[in-house]
C-alpha cells in the first residue's frame, strides 16, 4: 500500500459500470464514483474532482455498494470447513450439547478475527455477528475486540446457546457488558440473538423485555425444522414482540399465517440458502417470501460449512428459487416459461435488503450522502470479466470473490488491486492455529475425527431390469 490512499484524501473510481442500487435498479455505464471522507460525494460521468483526489481505474469493472451479511456465527470460522458433511442435527450435537463449551474467549477472538477479515476480502462490508457462544461476558469481550481490530462494519448480536435467553439477558454482567462495549456507533451496531422454542410459558419474554428496554432489535432463528416453528411466531405476536427491525433467520418452515404476521409487523427474513439446502431448516424460502412481500436479506450462517461469500449466496438463492418454481409447476403438469426471481433482485437482497434489515438507509446503495462502502469487481486477467452485457446477471452468476479488486469501508480502502490493505493475516493465522491445536487436544484425536466424518447411511442400489450379462452377445453387432 502506497501513500495513494492517505486518510482524508478523496478517492474517485473512474469509468466503471456502476450499480447504484437505487429504486429503479439503474445501470450506469462509464460512470465515476467520488468518495470524500466517509461518504459518497457524487455518482456520474466525467466527474470533476477536488485537487489531489486518488484515482482508481474502474474501466472494465463493476462498482456496487458493499454487501451486507445479516447472520453469521463468526466464532465458528475457527473450524472452517470442518462440518462440510454435517446435518443440522450433527451441528446441534457438536456445538450445543458437546463441544461449544470448550471454546475459550481467545478461541472466539480467533474465529471472529478471521471471519471479519474474510468478509472484507469478499466485498462484504457489513456483517452481523450472530455471536451465540458467549457463555461468559469475557467471551463477548473477546468477540468485540476482534471486530474492533478489523476495519469493517459490524453488528454484534449477543447470544448464548449455553443458557436460556431469559437467564443470560437478565444478568448484571450482561447489562454491564452492554454499557461497557455496545455504544452502537456507526461501525458497530447491537442486537440480541436468541431463539423462541415455542414453550407455551414463553420464558423468552424476559429477554424480549430486556431488548425493548435497551432499544435493541432481536434476531431469531425462526421456522427451523425440528427446532422452531409457528408456535414461536404466535407467542411473539401475541405478546407484542414482533416489532419492526426484528430479523427472522431462515424462516423456512412456517405457515402462511406466520409469514403474514412477519410481513404485517415490519420484520424481515435473513435467508441462508446454502445453509438451508445442506442442513435441513427447510426449503430456502424466497419463493414463498416473495408471495407475501416479506423483505429479504442474505446471509452465510457459518464457515463450519461455507465461506463468507455473498456471491455464493446470490447464486444459490436464484437457483433454489427457480428450482422450486419449476418443481411446483411440473407437479401440475405445467411449464414455467418466465422466471419470477431476477438477478437484480438477489443483488438487491445482498445490498439494500441487508441495509433495510438493519435499519440503515445510509448503507446498501451508492448515492450522494450515503456511507462510502464500495466494492469494485474487476479482474483484467480473467476470461470471465467480459463481455459485460448484463451487469446484474454478471454479479450473480459470473463474478466471484477472487474478482473483488477494491473495497472501501467508511471511505477507507481496505482492499486494493486484489489485496487486503493493512490487515495482519499472519496474526489471524497464528491465532487460528492455536485454537485448532487446543480444540484437537481437548476433544482428543478420536472425537475430532469422528466429528468431522459423520457416518454415511447405507444406500441400497435399486434393482435394474436392464442389467444382464448377455447384453453384448444379444446386440446386433455381436456374433
- Which residues make up the interface to Zn ion (CB under 5 A)? 301
* Signed CA dihedral, 467, 468, 472, 476: sign only: negative
- In the bound state with Zn ion, the residue whose beta carbon lies nearer, of 107 and 301, is 301
Residue appearing with cell numbers 468431522 = 452
Contact call for residues 194 and 220 (beta carbons, < 8 A): yes
CA distances from 315 to 40, 203, 305 (A): 28, 39, 17
> In the complex with Zn ion, which residue's Cβ is closer, 222 or 414?
222
C-beta of 86: minimal distance to Zn ion in Å? 13
Rounded least distance, CB 266 to Zn ion, Å: 22
User: What is the CA angle 389-274-288, rounded to 5?
Assistant: 80
Identify which of residues 17 and 272 has a Cβ nearer to Zn ion in the complex.
Answer: 272
CB closer to Zn ion, 208 vs 306: 306
- Pairing of β 412-416 and β 404-409: antiparallel
Residue with cell 484437537: 440
Query: At closest approach, how far in Å is the CB of 475 from Zn ion?
Result: 55
CB of 249 to Zn ion, least distance (A): 6
Distance of alpha carbon 123 from alpha carbon 429, whole angstroms: 20
Closest separation between CB of residue 459 and Zn ion, Å?
29
Nearest-CB residue for Zn ion = 301
Backbone angles phi, psi at 192, to 5 degrees: -105, 135
CB of 95 to Zn ion, least distance (A): 11
Residue 397 sits at the vertex; the CA angle it makes with 396 and 400, to the nearest 5 degrees, is: 80
- If the CB atoms of residues 58 and 157 are measured against Zn ion, the closer one turns out to be 157
Comparing CB distances to Zn ion, the nearer of 301 and 373 is 301
- Say if CB 335 and CB 328 are below 8 A apart: no
CA pair distance 10, 412, nearest whole angstrom: 10
The phi and psi torsions of 325 (rounded to 5 degrees) equal: -60, -45
Amino acid at each position: 500500500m502506497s501513500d495513494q490512499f492517505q486518510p482524508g484524501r478523496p478517492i474517485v473510481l473512474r469509468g466503471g459500470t456502476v450499480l447504484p442500487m437505487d429504486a429503479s435498479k439503474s445501470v450506469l455505464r462509464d460512470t465515476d464514483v467520488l468518495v470524500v471522507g466517509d461518504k459518497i460525494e457524487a455518482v456520474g460521468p466525467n466527474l470533476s474532482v477536488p485537487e489531489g483526489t486518488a484515482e482508481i481505474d474502474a474501466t472494465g469493472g463493476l462498482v456496487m455498494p458493499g454487501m451486507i451479511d445479516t447472520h453469521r456465527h463468526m466464532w465458528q470460522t475457527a473450524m472452517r470447513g470442518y462440518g462440510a458433511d454435517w446435518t443440522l442435527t450433527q451441528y446441534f450435537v457438536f456445538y450445543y450439547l458437546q463441544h461449544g463449551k470448550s471454546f475459550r474467549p481467545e478461541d472466539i477472538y480467533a474465529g471472529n478475527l478471521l471471519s471479519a477479515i474474510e468478509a472484507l476480502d469478499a466485498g462484504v462490508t457489513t456483517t452481523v455477528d450472530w455471536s451465540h457462544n458467549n457463555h461468559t461476558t469475557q467471551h463477548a469481550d473477546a468477540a468485540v475486540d476482534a471486530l474492533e481490530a478489523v476495519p469493517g462494519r459490524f453488528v454484534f448480536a449477543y447470544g448464548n446457546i449455553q443458557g436460556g435467553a431469559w437467564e443470560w439477558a437478565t444478568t448484571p454482567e450482561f447489562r454491564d457488558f452492554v454499557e461497557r462495549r455496545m455504544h452502537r456507533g456507526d461501525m458497530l451496531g447491537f442486537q440480541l440473538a436468541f431463539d423462541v422454542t415455542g414453550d407455551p410459558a414463553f420464558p423468552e419474554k424476559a429477554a424480549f423485555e430486556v431488548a425493548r428496554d435497551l432499544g435493541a432489535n432481536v434476531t431469531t432463528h425462526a421456522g427451523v425444522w425440528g427446532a422452531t416453528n409457528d408456535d414461536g411466531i404466535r407467542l411473539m405476536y401475541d405478546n407484542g414482540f414482533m416489532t419492526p427491525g426484528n430479523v427472522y433467520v431462515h424462516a423456512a418452515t412456517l405457515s402462511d399465517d406466520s409469514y403474514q404476521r412477519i410481513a404485517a409487523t415490519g420484520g424481515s427474513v435473513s435467508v441462508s440458502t446454502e445453509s438451508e439446502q445442506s442442513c435441513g431448516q427447510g426449503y430456502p424460502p424466497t419463493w414463498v417470501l416473495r408471495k407475501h412481500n416479506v423483505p429479504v436479506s442474505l446471509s452465510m450462517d457459518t464457515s463450519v460449512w461455507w465461506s463468507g461469500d455473498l456471491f455464493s449466496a446470490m447464486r444459490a438463492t436464484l437457483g433454489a428459487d427457480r428450482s422450486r418454481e419449476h418443481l411446483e409447476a411440473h407437479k401440475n403438469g405445467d411449464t414455467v416459461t418466465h422466471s419470477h426471481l431476477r438477478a437484480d433482485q438477489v443483488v438487491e437482497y445482498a445490498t439494500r435488503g441487508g441495509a433495510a434489515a438493519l435499519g440503515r438507509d445510509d448503507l446498501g446503495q451508492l448515492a450522494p450522502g450515503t456511507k462510502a462502502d464500495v466494492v469494485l469487481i474487476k479482474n483484467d486477467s480473467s476470461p470471465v470479466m467480459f463481455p459485460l452485457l448484463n451487469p446484474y446477471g454478471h454479479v450473480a452468476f459470473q463474478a466471484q470473490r477472487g474478482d473483488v479488486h477494491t473495497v472501501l469501508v467508511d471511505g477507507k480502502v481496505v482492499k486494493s488491486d486484489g489485496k487486503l490493505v493493512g490487515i495482519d493475516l499472519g496474526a489471524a493465522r497464528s491465532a487460528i492455529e492455536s485454537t485448532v491445536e487446543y480444540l484437537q487436544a481437548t476433544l482428543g484425536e478420536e472425537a475430532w475425527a469422528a466429528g468431522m466424518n459423520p457416518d454415511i447411511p447405507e444406500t441400497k442400489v435399486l434393482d435394474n431390469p436392464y442389467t444382464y450379462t448377455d447384453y453384448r452377445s444379444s446386440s446386433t453387432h455381436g456374433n
